[in-house]
Every structure is written in structure tokens, then in C-alpha cells.
Chains A and B, each alone.
Chain A
Amino acid sequence: MTDMPQIALRNVTHAYKTDDGPLPVLRDLNIDIPEGEFCAVVGPSGCGKSTLTRLIAGLMRADEGDVILHGEMVKGPKNTVGMAFQNPVLLEWRTIMDNVLLPLEIVPTKLTKAQQRERAMSLLELVGLRGFEDKRPSELSGGMRQRASLCRAIVHKPEVLILDEPFGALDAFTREDLWQTMHNLRAEEPFTALLITHDLRESIFLADEVVVLSGRPATAQYKLKVTFEGERKLDDLYTQKATDMLSILRHQIEIAQGRVPNDNSGGEAA
């Protein structure tokens, strides 16, 4: 263990090349996520949140600045990372079990085939998919597919989990169910997580810290430490404390959208 945060972005600047010249998406972005912490990133649409995930996953290189994972500069994809997207992207020709096992076919593992299945089975059990391991993705509901996709993202015990709006396409009740599932997974499997989301309630329910990105080109406009006591329950979202945090975030989003002037000064502002 080092003092270095598990995920660190240092003055990251990035622009897309388009026919009309460069389109800046990130500007001097700084984010630190200590080991084991859960960080949520919120911001207006199209502010470069997905770009951020691709940079950390090593699928893209930043124009400027450093992206650091477990103390090392990210130069390309690393198998210590797990990813889940809004689209569960399960392979339709495989059973749920074989979908979950997919990363273990790529990442070197010491587990025998039987141990791999056992591990996948215990994860499926944890997310409530026991009994569905031999079904095909097309036989499952959207929420169940997303659960399977989460199992696949962590089956190889990644140190870092990157979640790009994984619950965005689900209905409100399924989403709340999956939030709970996420907490259960975190209790069983330690990982450092970065969650991209549009849902402020989701961000404070799941994360230890919420980062608000400004409009494009995005920079860290505001950082909020989430402080709930003890184990988190959905009821916590209906307390005064939650309402206060949500109203701060709401206000920051409006600043990011350019609808109200920026009045951040000192305090928790980044």
C-alpha cells in the first residue's frame, strides 16, 4: 500500500479532433480517488464524462496531463480494471454464466475451471441471479442483464471498477434495487470505483465523494464529501441531510450548465 491514491488525474486536458478543428472536452481536470473509495462524477450532458472513463481504462490517451492508476501512468488498457456501461453489452450467444466468465478468458488466472465457475456462481448469487446461470441474455429483463454485467465487471477481482451510467436505462425501482446490490457487492469485494451518473440521488447514495464537472471543457468544479452514518439505507435519502446535499449538488449543476453565476468561494469548492 502506498499513500498514492488508487486513481489520480493530474491536470488532464483533452480535445477531440473534428472537421471543424479541435473540440476541447476536458481542461485541467484533477481528481484523486483513494484506495477503496467510491467516487461519483456528475455534470451536464456532453461534458466529457465518458471520455474520462475511457482515459482511465486506457482506451484513449489524454493530450496533456497524467492519468495514474495504482501509482503507474496509464499507457494502455490494464486487466486490473473492470468496466460496466449503460448498455449491459452481454454476448447473446453465451449463457449468463459464460458471459460472467468472459474476463477470465482474457486475464491470466490461477483458478481452475471449477473454481472460476464457483466464483461466478457466488457473484450471481450475490446479485440475485441464482438459477439464471444457464439462461441466455435475451431471456432476462433489463435489470437482470445489468446485474449480470456487474458480475462480469468484477469477476476477475479488478482493483478499479469504472461504471459509466450503468443504471441509467432502468426504471426507478429497479435502479434502487441495484443501488442496494452495489452496496452488497462492495461489502464483499473491495474495489475502488468511479461512477458516472446523471442521477444526483444515486451519486450520494453510492459514493463517498461526488465530483461535479463544469460544462465543456470540463474541469472539477465542486467536490462534495458524502457523510452518512453507518450502513446506508434508502431511507437515508429522505432525511434533511440528504436534501441539503442534493440541493448543493443541484445548485452546482445549474452553475455548470451556465444557468446561474458561479459563486463558489473557498469551502469545499475545488
Chain B
Amino acid sequence: MSRRQFNQILVPTIAVVVFLLLWELLVWANGWPNYVMASPSDLWPAYVRFSGLFVEASWETLWRTVAGLGLAIIFGTLIGMIMGFSRTMRDALYPLLVGFNAIPKATVVPIMALLFVGQHDFNTVMLAFMISFFPIAVSVSIGLSTLEPEYRDILRSLGASKLTIFWKIALPKTLPEFFGALKVAVTLAFIGTNLMEIVSPHGRGLGALFDSGKTNSDYPLMFAVLIVLAALGILLFYVVVFLERIFAGWAERRET
């Protein structure tokens, strides 16, 4: 392991430890009881006590977030392609998309819950999808519509089809923008999943676990859930960063 790689792991680890210590210190110095603010040392017992629930809930939250994000990628890319290739469709769809994006998704939760009663998995995935497809659609459409005509012409002059031009040039050229949007979308999808889990009755996943901590006045449990949510968020984010490095690593200029 090189010194640089070592630093890449060590520095963030130290930062997390420092953060936890400061948190502990803050609660201790103010003499706050558990029901005002739990401290990191209170969290461990909560994890031990509810370990089975945590594993199950994390899995529920994780798969539904990834499923919603997957839908957002497919749908967002499709919408982005339509808007990127057709000026008319861009003019038609843009206000609709912006309007849709502006609706606070918390208001959508009861509508979804009524529309698809009892379909908790479906509703959760849908909300994660709805909240996260917008940045993907916008970035793909901008990436495609700002493609310099010469890029198209080098292939078109050889008689390449539109599909070939899309695969060989438009798509790869859009990848850096796409991954930029995906980093935003991954966090949004996560928020969507949790929103549904917390708000909808008889929910499952980490959101529901948080909600039951609230109902039972188990404050350390609530904080413990938040920490797991943060950890899962970090995990998903770095999966995207990892994929970006594989598929769009060329966009990163080497230091000279």
C-alpha cells in the first residue's frame, strides 16, 4: 500500500473518530440526558440489543433505494435522451419536469399510500425513483444537446447510423455529467426511501425502525438509526464514485 492510499484511508478514519469524540464531549459537557441528545457511547447498547432488526431494516432500506435508483437511471436516461435529441420535446417536457420536481415529496407519500394501499415495497421504490430521476434526466439531456456538431460529423460522414453515433460518441461523452448527477441522485433516492418508511403506517426498513424508536421514547435507538443511515449513504455514494472511476475515469485529468 502506497503512502497516498494509506492516507486516503487513514485521514477520513481519523476525521470520523474526532467527530465522535467531539459529539461525546458536547453531550457530556452540557450534561444532556438521553432524551435530549444521545451520545455515541449510548449507541453501542442499542446496536447490540437490536442487532437483528438493524440488519433486516438496513437490507430493506438498501435494496429499495437501489431499486428506485435503478428505475431512475433507466427512466431518467430515457427522458434525457428524448429531450437531448429533440428540441420540441425539450420545450414540451422541461416545465413539466421542473414542476414535478418542485412538489415536496412528503406530500406525495399519502397520495401513493392511498393509490396503492398496502403495496409498501412498491410505494417505497416509487418514491425513491420519483425523487431521484430529475438530476439524471437533466444532465443526460444537457450532455447530449451540447455535443459539438463535429463529433457527430466525423461518424456521420462515414455513413454511421444515429444509433451508432449515440453508442460510440454521445453516450460516452455524456458519462462524466451522468455520474455527477448520479452522485446527487443516490443521496436523494435514499431520502425518498426513508421518507416513505417513516411516514407510511406499518412501514419497514430503517425509517420504520426510527419511527418505532420515537414511539417508544428510545432516543439512543433513534440516533443509532441515523448513524446507520449515514453509513449506508456513504457506502452508496462511494459505489457510484467507484463506478465513475471505471467508466468515466478518462475525464479526470492527470496532474502534470
In angstroms, Cα B164 to Cα A91, docked, is: 14
Q: Say whether B168 contacts A77, CB under 8 Å.
A: no
Closest to A95 in B: B250
Q: Which positions 41-61 of chain B face chain A at CB distance < 8 Å? A: none
Closest to A93 in B: B250
- The SS class assigned to the B binding surface is helix
In angstroms, Cα B156 to Cα A78, docked, is: 9
- Given the interface contacts A83-B154, A156-B158, does A89 sit within 8 Å of B148 by beta carbon? yes
In the complex, chain B residues whose CB is within 8 Å of the CB of A89: 148, 150-151, 154
Size category of the binding interface on chain A: 20 to 34
A74 to chain B, nearest CB (A): 11
Asked if B3 is at the interface of the complex by the 8 Å CB criterion, the answer is no
Closest to A164 in B: B150
Asked if A128 is at the interface of the complex by the 8 Å CB criterion, the answer is no
Asked if B172 is at the interface of the complex by the 8 Å CB criterion, the answer is yes
Asked if B87 is at the interface of the complex by the 8 Å CB criterion, the answer is no
In the complex, chain B residues whose CB is within 8 Å of the CB of A58: 157
In the complex, chain B residues whose CB is within 8 Å of the CB of A85: 150, 153-154
Q: Which positions 86-108 of chain A face chain B at CB distance < 8 Å? A: 87, 89, 91-93, 102-103, 105-107
In the complex, chain B residues whose CB is within 8 Å of the CB of A138: 250, 253-254
In the complex, chain B residues whose CB is within 8 Å of the CB of A78: 159
Size category of the binding interface on chain B: 20 to 34
- Which of A59, A81, A87, A136 meets B250, CB within 8 Å? A136
| Contact code string B142-184 (vs A, CB < 8 Å = 1, else 0) | 0000001011011111111000100011001101000000000
In angstroms, Cα B159 to Cα A83, docked, is: 12
Q: Say whether B157 contacts A57, CB under 8 Å.
A: yes
Q: Which of B153, B154, B173 has the most CB of A within 10 A?
A: B154
Q: Say whether A106 contacts B253, CB under 8 Å.
A: no
In angstroms, Cα B254 to Cα A122, docked, is: 28
Q: Say whether B153 contacts A83, CB under 8 Å.
A: yes
- Which of B150, B156, B172, B254 meets A77, CB within 8 Å? B156
| Contact code string B224-256 (vs A, CB < 8 Å = 1, else 0) | 000000000000000000000000101101100
- Given the interface contacts A92-B250, A138-B253, does A87 sit within 8 Å of B150 by beta carbon? yes
Q: Say whether A87 contacts B148, CB under 8 Å.
A: yes
Having A81-B157, A107-B159, A162-B157, one finds 16 other A-B pairs with CB under 8 Å, namely A54-B153, A57-B153, A57-B157, A77-B157, A77-B158, A83-B154, A85-B150, A89-B150, A91-B151, A93-B173, A93-B248, A102-B168, A103-B158, A138-B250, A138-B253, A139-B254
Q: A residues bordering B, Cβ < 8 Å? A: 54, 57-59, 76-79, 81, 83, 85, 87, 89, 91-93, 102-103, 105-107, 136, 138-139, 152, 156, 162
Q: B residues bordering A, Cβ < 8 Å? A: 148, 150-151, 153-160, 164, 168-169, 172-173, 175, 248, 250-251, 253-254
